[in-house]
Amino acid sequence: MSDIGYCIQCSDLVQSRHQIVQGEGNLRAKLMIIGEAPGEEEDLQGRPFVGRSGKLLNATLAKLGVKREDIYITNVVKCRPPWNRRPNQLEIDNCEGYLQEEIRLIAPRVIVTLGLSATNALLEIPVSIGEANGKVFQYRENIKLIPVYHPSAILRNPNLRESFERALKFAIEEAKK
């Protein structure tokens, strides 16, 4: 995987970030998880999904029998937006080439998008995460895309946890086929 280097395309992000957060994990993973952008803890550590949402994701994966090192995990946008705001379309567009390279090199069977921003960025059609959660979309010829709720949504609304776990379990099973 090539290093993203020191990107300066998004001036707002360059001014506020500590570092670029690249994807990590198994380069031959059948399951790839894509979130929207790094949060504060990810920006500080330089690793995706290591904050509260990442801990919830890791615990859920472990509960479902998956080790984090067996998957590949990344974000649509590689730098933390100020105040953890959603990435804007210019930021998504600026990182698209790098994300597409990750997808091409990993060549997963299944991509799980976490939350609305990541889902809409990859599908390029507007969907509701509530309606799309756990459904299969064809992303490319050999890649299924399965949106699930973002772990931060579960932290805010624990009533979504069962649906989140069921959708993630389904995605894991699809990746094993």
DSSP structure string for 112-154: EEEHHHHHHHHH-S---HHHHTT--EEEETTEEEEEE--HHHH
Q: Strands of 137-140's sheet, edge to edge?
A: 24-25, 72-75, 31-35, 110-114, 143-148, 137-140
**One digit per residue, pLDDT tens: the chain, 177 residues?**
556 666 667 666 667 786 888 999 999 999 999 999 999 999 899 999 999 999 999 999 999 999 999 999 999 999 888 888 899 999 899 889 999 999 999 999 999 999 999 999 999 788 999 999 999 999 988 999 999 999 999 999 999 999 999 999 999 999 998
Q: What's the DSSP call for residue 72?
A: E
* The model's pTM: 0.94
Model pLDDT, residue 172: 98
CATH class given for the domain over 23-176: alpha beta
Model pLDDT, residue 14: 66
